[in-house]
Structure 1
Amino acid sequence: MHYRKLGKTGIEISEIGFGAWAIGGDAWGPVEDTQSIEAMNKALELGVNFIDTADVYGSGHSETLVAKVIKGRRDQVVVSTKGGLMGHHRDPKGEPVYDTPEKIIEACEASLRRLGTDYVDIYFCHLWWDKHEETEAFMRAFEILKRDGKVKSVGVSTENLDYIKHFNREGGLDAVQLDYSILNRTTEKEVLPYLQEHGIGAVVRGPLKMGILTGKFSKDTVFPEGDIRRNWTKEPWFQDSLDKVDRLSALENEQRTLSQAALRYVLNHPAVSAAIPGAKTPSQAELNAAASVRPLLSKEDLQFIDETAP
C-alpha cells in the first residue's frame, strides 16, 4: 500500500481508503454486519489506514460498525465522518437545517459517540448545495471543533467550485470530498487544479461510478429492493455508461482488473490524496486495496481513456 499526505494537513493516508456507505445497510442492497466488519479488517490488514463514513449512512449504523473495527487501534486509523444531512433540526418541509454552529457541533458529538472516539481526523460538511447561512454556521462550528480537539481537519463534500472557494476564503479548508471517475471527469477542468494550487486534499468518492466501472452490470441487471441503483436501468446515462465500459474493458490485462485501472486513473491526478471505493465483503476490499500496487497507467492508456470517455 502506498500513502499520501492529505493536502497541507500533514495527515498521511493510504491512497486507497475504505468507503463505508454501503455497510450502513440502507442504500446499496443486502449487506451483513459480520461481512462488513471482516471487509474493514481485511482492508486494514492490507495497509488501508483510512475509513470514511457519515452520520446518515444507515442512520448511524455505519459509524457503529466502524467503531468496532477501530477499537483498540484508534491511533492507527484515519477516520473521517460527515454531518449535515441527518438530524432532528428540520424546516417545515422536513429538510434538515443546520443554521447554527451549536446544531453542527451536536451532530459531530453524536457521531463521536457512535464511533467510540473523542476525535475524528477529518470532519466533512455533507451538504451538496450552497445554503449561505449553513455555510457560515459550518465554518464557525469547524473553528470550535478544531479548537476543542474534536476534529483534526475539516472539509466539504461537493464539486461546486464557488462553494469550495467560499469555505476556503480564509484558507481554512483542509479537504474536499468529490465525485470523480473515468466516467465523470468534470472536476478535472477547474476543481482539482484549484485544490492542488491551494494545498487542499482531494478525497475521491465514486471512483468506480457506484460499481459501474467494475464491469459487472448490464442493461439486464436487476438491482434488489432497497438499492438506490434500482431505477438506473431506465436512465439513458446508464446505457451510455455501459457502452463506455464495454470499450474501457480493453484496459484490463493480466496485471489489473478494470476496476483497478479505474482506481489508478483517479490516483493519477496530482491533486488526489485518496480514493474511497466502497466494499461490502473482504474480497471486494482486497481487490480495491491491490489497486495501490498495480502498475501506473501508460501514456497510451491515458490517451485511450481520453478518446473513450472524454
Structure 2
Amino acid sequence: MYTRSLGKTGIEVSEIGFGAWAIGGDAWGPVDDEQSLRAMEAAVEQGVNFIDTADVYGNGRSEKLVAKLIQGRREKLVISTKGGLMGHHRDPNGAPVYDKPDKVIEAFENSLKRLETDYIDVYFCHLWWDKHEETEAFLGAFERLKRDGKVRAVGVSTENLDYIKHFNRDGGLDAVQLDYSILNRSTEREVLPYLHQHGIGAVVRGPLRMGILTGKFQKGTEFAEGDIRKNWPKEAWFSKSLSQVEKLKPLADENRTLSQAALRFVLSHPAVSTAIPGAKTAQQAALNVSASVRPLLSEHDMSLINQV
C-alpha cells in the first residue's frame, strides 16, 4: 500500500482508505455487523490506515463499528469522522442548527464517545449549505478542538469552491472531502487545483460513483428497499452513466478490474491524498486495496477515459 501526505498536515494516509457509510446500514441496503468488521479488518491487514465515517451513518452505528476496529491499534490508524447532519438542535423545518461552537463541540464529543477514543485525527464539517452562522460556529469549534489537542486536522465536505475558500480564509483548512470520479470530473476545473495550490488534502468520496464504476449494474438492476439507489434506474443520468461504463470496460483486463482502474484514475490527480471507496465484505475491501500499484494508468488508458 502506497501512502501520501494529507495536504500540509504531515499526517501520512494510505492512498486507498475505507469509506464506512455503507456499513451504517441505513442507506445502501442490508448489512451484517460481523461482515462489516471483517471487511474493515481485511482492509487494515492489507495496509489501509485511513478510515472515514460520520455521526449520521446509521445514526451512530458506523462509528460504533469503527470503535471495535480500532481497539488495540488506535495509534496506527487515522480516523476521520464528520459532524453536522445529525444535530439534535433543529429549526422548525427539521434542519440541523449550529449557531454556536458549543453545539458543534457537543456533536464532536458524542462522536468521541461512540468511537471510544479521546481524539479524532480528521474532523469534517458535514454541512453542504453555506449559512454564515453555521460556518462561523464550525470555525470557532475547530479552533478550540485543535487548541485542546482533540483533533489533529479539520476540514469540510463539499465541492463548493466559495464555501472552501470561506473555511480557508485564515489558511487553517487542512482537508476537503469531495466527490470525484471518472464519471464526475467537475472538480478538476477549479476545486482540485485550489486544494493542490494551498496544500489542502483531498479526500475523495464516490470514486466508484456509488458502485456504477464496478460495471455490475445494468438497466434492469433492482436495488433493495432502503437503498438510496432505489430509484436510480428511472433516471436518465443513470442510463447515460451505464452507457459510458460500457465504453470504459476495455480498462479491465486480467490484471485489474474496472473498479480498480477507476480508483487508479482518481489517484492519478496530484491533489488527491486518499480515495475512500466503501465495502461491505472482505472481498470487496481486498479488491479496493489492490488498486494501490504503480504505474497507476497508462497514456492509452487516460486517452480512453478522456474520449468517453
TM-score (norm 2): 0.99
Give the 5 Å matches for 1:75-224.
Answer: 75-224=75-224
Helix, strand or coil at the partner of 1:105:
helix
Residue 260 of structure 2 is matched in structure 1 by 260
Residue in 1 that maps onto 2:73? 73
Q: CA deviation at 1:132?
A: 1.2
Any conservation in 2 of the 1:256–1:294 contact (CA below 8 Å)? no
What is the CA-CA distance between 1:293 and the residue it aligns to? 2.0
Residue aligned with 1:176, SS: strand
Shift in Å, 1:294 = 5.7
The match for 2:293 is 293
Structure 1 residues 19-28 or 124-133, which shifts more?
A: 124-133
Distance in 1, Cα, partners of 2:209 & 2:293 = 21
CA deviation string 1:166-204 (max 9, x = no partner): 000100000000000000000000000000000000000
Note the C-alpha offset of 1:88.
1.1
Corresponding residue SS for 1:104: helix
Aligned partners of 1:161, 1:303: CA distance in 2, in Å?
28
Distance 2:303 2:163 in 1: 32
Amino acid at match of 1:225: E
Instruction: Call closer, same or farther: CA 1:295–1:256 in 2, change over 3 Å.
Output: farther
Is residue 14–residue 48 contact of structure 1 (8 Å, CA) maintained in 2? yes
C-alpha distance in 1, partners of 2:294/2:208? 16
> Residue 208 of structure 1 contacts residue 259 of structure 1 at CA under 8 Å; is this kept in 2?
yes
- Tell me by how many angstroms 1:295 deviates: 3.6
> Which residue does 2:37 correspond to in 1?
37
Query: Could you tell me which residue of structure 2 aligns to residue 22 of structure 1?
Result: 22
Which stretches of structure 1, 4 residues or longer, exceed 2 Å deviation after superposition? none
Residue in 2 that maps onto 1:234: 234
Contact residue 33 and residue 65 of structure 1 kept, 8 A: yes
Amino acid at match of 1:168: N
The residue type paired with residue 153 of structure 2 is S
Structure 1 partner of 2:277: 277
Q: What is the TM-score with the length of structure 1 in the denominator?
A: 0.99
Task: Check the 8 A contact 1:255/1:295 in 2, yes or no.
Answer: no
Say whether the 8 Å CA contact 1:84–1:127 is kept in structure 2: yes
Instruction: Name the SS for the 1:293 alignment partner.
Output: coil
State how far apart, in whole Å, the 2-side matches of 1:284 and 1:300 are. 27
Distance 1:73 1:256 in 2: 31
Counterpart-to-counterpart distance in 2, 1:296 and 1:59: 36
Distance 2:289 2:295 in 1: 13
How far residue 103 of structure 1 moved from its aligned partner, in angstroms, is 0.2
How many residues are matched?
308
Q: Give the secondary-structure state (helix, strand or coil) at the position aligned to 2:51.
A: strand
Secondary structure class of the residue paired with 1:66: helix
CA distance in 1 between counterparts of 2:252 and 2:170 reads 44
Report the counterpart of residue 47 of structure 1 in structure 2: 47
Structure 2 gaps of 5+ residues are none
Equivalents in 1 of 2:128, 2:10: separation in Å? 26
Q: Which residue of 2 aligns with 1:64?
A: 64
Partner Cα distance (2:304, 2:65) in 1: 40
Identical counterparts, % of pairs: 75
**CA distance 1:216–1:294, shift in 2 (3 Å):** farther
> CA separation in 2, counterparts of 1:128 and 1:229?
20
Letter aligned with residue 40 of structure 1: M
Q: Which runs of 5+ in 1 are unaligned?
A: none
Does structure 2 retain, via aligned residues, the 8 Å contact 1:22–1:279?
yes
